[in-house]
A and B are shown apart, each in its own frame.
Chain A
């Protein structure tokens, strides 16, 4: 591409050496490169005010070439960032050289008719543009041969001398190729029009500022590549959907929550074998879902699949009821730890931006039934929702605490209001509840609880007595679980003052 860019890029120096400006005499040559993109033949000074940057302004003969005229033309041309001003040959023009030098704008004297020169230059610019068109057609043909999104982006990047090329969805880089981005890069972006009207995909090229790239040409290349990007994406998505069928089937088949893992395997053994699942092979299950309740976004599946490839290329991602599911082979504990780390580092930020959370099943030596690890991942994902978008939660770190996720918080709070009215009305309510929670967290040990709260033992004891006075049944063993639950729920709605070892609190 570099070779052809040099061919399509016209500049003053080049055209003076062997182009249509050869017949002119430079009165002053600006040190800057002087890129030429268009030419204008003007017969009125005011017309220069409308020229585009990188234009050669040719003053027609009828306009004259008085010193004042050249001066004013130089000024206008400079204001419009023109490439050069061409004037008819005359003794007057030389007076303006000082001004040209001051403004840093090239002045050329046409030996013949300036109009003829403008025509020749226009032809040359036209020829260069047709080279650009031919080049774009070649790029389009090359890219059309690629079948995967990765290859398409790699080819685009190659055409741009290895420049970084990114496909983004809603600001999240879905996939990329070429050099990593730098702050000084020029960013050229085109929109990739989705099949539905909600356009969120953009194709971006980041080219070094110092490079030889013609930015308009870069934009054109991206536009030409857009259909190939869409096609590759759609075909990949179709393929992924097909590959994800066995995964989707597990979620679909596991409809009976009462059935144990063995029962599930027993019942669907034949079908699971048909789908390619082999008994005794260890897997980890990963469940993605929206953190808040969101309307269904069909394109999200495709986006998530592209992102998922950053973690595990071979495990297909299936869109299932209530989220997305994938099963990843994990031979040992280390593999499972690595997987979890990879998910957090490579997907965490993107999940946060997309408003998603992820739940991961435990790794177990004795290879539990697929349905069980899927259930674990789903529960972990469900628990992760309360901690906000971007959370990746492993069932291993959750255990039975997951149960509290499914407690109806509002109902518990209502119970507290009705059953413990004196506690709820007390001004020192928050302090008492914190104390009770800490006391129960430490299995009724006043010493440990006081230490965890940074309090003296006697202080805590006094607060617990106060709780008893307010009607909290701390001394009735059968009611302790309920008290503990109420204390937990009420603490969630408190301002965060005290630290806690509560895993549920840690999720926040």
Chain B
């Protein structure tokens, strides 16, 4: 059922996109949300489910790929994504019927709305991650053997590239190299596939879920109530309420293939005395409680201000802050053997398997 999104929805989506990727600087999300709100003044934005498309309709994922540069530091001109979609259409000789998010959190959770407004294409309420992952190969479409290519990239200078590639790992390398050359970030369109393929292998309801999260978090209800509602919506569990006792950057050797530097947080649960350690690289990869693995990617872990229930940015964390550490189960596809192969801690250079593997 298609929905016309309101300005209120966009604001909630912004909060939701931030909640599901709390560790990243949200400036770009806010910049984009503002642009979308302005654009909506004279255009409407349609959110559809994948079922509303014909099975053969061509759909494509849109998203930013960054390599060391914050998008807010060098904002896009505006035509980058349209250029990418045109390049895909030219390459495949078919028209794109709808777009979807490359990831269901952070900036890529909100970018498709802008692209939808610009291109008048409907936005599908699905994505191939159900969260955000740092690598473009870490998708449920990849798990389902949907081809990543051709990939179109366009940088801030207007330069455009189309990469015809099949192997997702190879695509990763090529795209990373191109993004560096294109100026630190690039608008991309990838995983062109049929609506049927997306239906079979994608994660659904991602955009509406972020809106719902925003509704919960932005409401003026007590923190306790917010946590309760989030638990119901996402199956989230609070690992601990703890105070930050130690911050380390460069806490692990950096893997060349991965963007961003590793860091760690140590927190003390003051009521139980437990010591909690968060391993971070772009996002929270691992939570150890007294040295025991309590959450590990692909589980999502996010931090909430214990007083206000607002999302905490890792960059702003200081020793002494008290926060709730919340664990959210990722999409079911990620807990299959193939899913864990792509996204468990080992994929991020931490040589341990996900605890779910042992019970498989």
User: Is B273 located at the chain interface by the 8 A CB criterion?
Assistant: yes
B352 touches A45 (CB 8 A): yes
Partner of A68, one of B245, B252, B268: B252
User: Is B248 located at the chain interface by the 8 A CB criterion?
Assistant: yes
User: Is A81 located at the chain interface by the 8 A CB criterion?
Assistant: no
B286 touches A75 (CB 8 A): no
Q: Give the CA-CA distance A34 to B350 in the complex, in Å.
A: 30
Q: Give the CA-CA distance A155 to B156 in the complex, in Å.
A: 91
User: Is B4 located at the chain interface by the 8 A CB criterion?
Assistant: no
B246 touches A95 (CB 8 A): yes
Q: Which of A37-89 contact B (CB under 8 A)?
A: 44-46, 63-64, 66-68, 71-76, 78
Note all chain A residues with C-beta closer than 8 A to B251. 66-68, 92, 95
Q: Give the CA-CA distance A19 to B305 in the complex, in Å.
A: 50
Nearest to B289 among chain A residues (CB) is A75
User: Is A103 located at the chain interface by the 8 A CB criterion?
Assistant: yes
Partner of A72, one of B248, B253, B266, B352: B352
Q: Give the CA-CA distance A44 to B279 in the complex, in Å.
A: 18
User: Is B288 located at the chain interface by the 8 A CB criterion?
Assistant: yes
User: Is B275 located at the chain interface by the 8 A CB criterion?
Assistant: yes
User: Is A421 located at the chain interface by the 8 A CB criterion?
Assistant: no
User: Is B93 located at the chain interface by the 8 A CB criterion?
Assistant: no
B211 to chain A, nearest CB (A): 34
Nearest to B293 among chain A residues (CB) is A72
Note all chain B residues with C-beta closer than 8 A to A75. 288, 290-292
User: Is B15 located at the chain interface by the 8 A CB criterion?
Assistant: no
A68 touches B264 (CB 8 A): yes
B312 to chain A, nearest CB (A): 20
A482 to chain B, nearest CB (A): 81
Q: Give the CA-CA distance A342 to B58 in the complex, in Å.
A: 103
- Given contacts A92-B248, A102-B273, whether A68 and B286 have CB atoms under 8 Å apart is yes
User: Is A98 located at the chain interface by the 8 A CB criterion?
Assistant: yes
A98 to chain B, nearest CB (A): 5
Contact with A along B259-301 (1 / 0, CB 8 A): 0000010101000011101010000001010111100000000
Nearest to A70 among chain B residues (CB) is B291
User: Is A99 located at the chain interface by the 8 A CB criterion?
Assistant: yes
Note all chain B residues with C-beta closer than 8 A to A103. 290-291
Q: Give the CA-CA distance A74 to B288 in the complex, in Å.
A: 11
B288 touches A102 (CB 8 A): no
Note all chain B residues with C-beta closer than 8 A to A66. 251-253, 264
A60 to chain B, nearest CB (A): 12
Does more than half of chain B's interface fall in helix, strand or loop, or is it mixed? strand
Q: Give the CA-CA distance A64 to B274 in the complex, in Å.
A: 24
Contact with A along B338-354 (1 / 0, CB 8 A): 00000000000011100
- Chain B interface bracket (under 10, 10 to 19, 20 to 34, 35 or more): 20 to 34
A99 touches B286 (CB 8 A): no
- Chain A interface bracket (under 10, 10 to 19, 20 to 34, 35 or more): 20 to 34
B248 touches A44 (CB 8 A): no
B264 to chain A, nearest CB (A): 5
Contact with A along B313-343 (1 / 0, CB 8 A): 0000000000000000000000000000000
Does more than half of chain A's interface fall in helix, strand or loop, or is it mixed? helix
Nearest to B292 among chain A residues (CB) is A75
Note all chain A residues with C-beta closer than 8 A to B248. 67, 92, 95
B282 to chain A, nearest CB (A): 16
Note all chain B residues with C-beta closer than 8 A to A67. 248, 251, 264, 266, 277
B253 touches A64 (CB 8 A): yes
Note all chain A residues with C-beta closer than 8 A to B277. 67-68, 71, 95, 99
Q: Give the CA-CA distance A92 to B279 in the complex, in Å.
A: 13
Partner of B291, one of A46, A64, A74: A74
B288 touches A71 (CB 8 A): yes
Partner of A71, one of B245, B268, B291, B351: B291
B4 to chain A, nearest CB (A): 46
B291 touches A76 (CB 8 A): yes
B350 to chain A, nearest CB (A): 7
A98 touches B273 (CB 8 A): no
Nearest to A63 among chain B residues (CB) is B351
Contact with A along B232-272 (1 / 0, CB 8 A): 00000000000001101001110000000000101010000
Note all chain B residues with C-beta closer than 8 A to A95. 246, 248, 251, 264, 266, 277
Note all chain A residues with C-beta closer than 8 A to B264. 66-68, 95
Note all chain B residues with C-beta closer than 8 A to A98. 245, 266, 268, 275
Contact with B along A97-112 (1 / 0, CB 8 A): 0110011000000000
A68 touches B351 (CB 8 A): no
B285 to chain A, nearest CB (A): 9
Note all chain A residues with C-beta closer than 8 A to B279. 68
Q: Give the CA-CA distance A63 to B248 in the complex, in Å.
A: 19
B62 to chain A, nearest CB (A): 35
Q: Give the CA-CA distance A388 to B288 in the complex, in Å.
A: 65
Q: Give the CA-CA distance A73 to B277 in the complex, in Å.
A: 13
Further contacts, 15 of them, CB under 8 A, given A75-B290, A102-B274 = A66-B252, A66-B253, A67-B248, A68-B251, A68-B252, A68-B288, A71-B275, A71-B277, A75-B291, A92-B251, A95-B248, A95-B277, A96-B291, A99-B291, A102-B290
Instruction: Report which A residues bind B (CB closer than 8 A).
Output: 44-46, 63-64, 66-68, 71-76, 78, 92, 95-96, 98-99, 102-103
Counting from the closest, the 10 A-B pairs by CB-CB distance are: A75-B291, A66-B252, A71-B291, A68-B279, A99-B275, A74-B291, A75-B292, A71-B288, A71-B277, A72-B291
Instruction: Report which B residues bind A (CB closer than 8 A).
Output: 245-246, 248, 251-253, 264, 266, 268, 273-275, 277, 279, 286, 288, 290-293, 350-352
Q: List 21 A-B contacts (CB under 8 A).
A: A63-B351, A64-B253, A66-B252, A66-B253, A66-B264, A67-B264, A68-B279, A68-B288, A71-B275, A71-B288, A72-B291, A74-B291, A75-B291, A75-B292, A95-B248, A95-B266, A98-B266, A98-B268, A102-B273, A102-B274, A102-B275
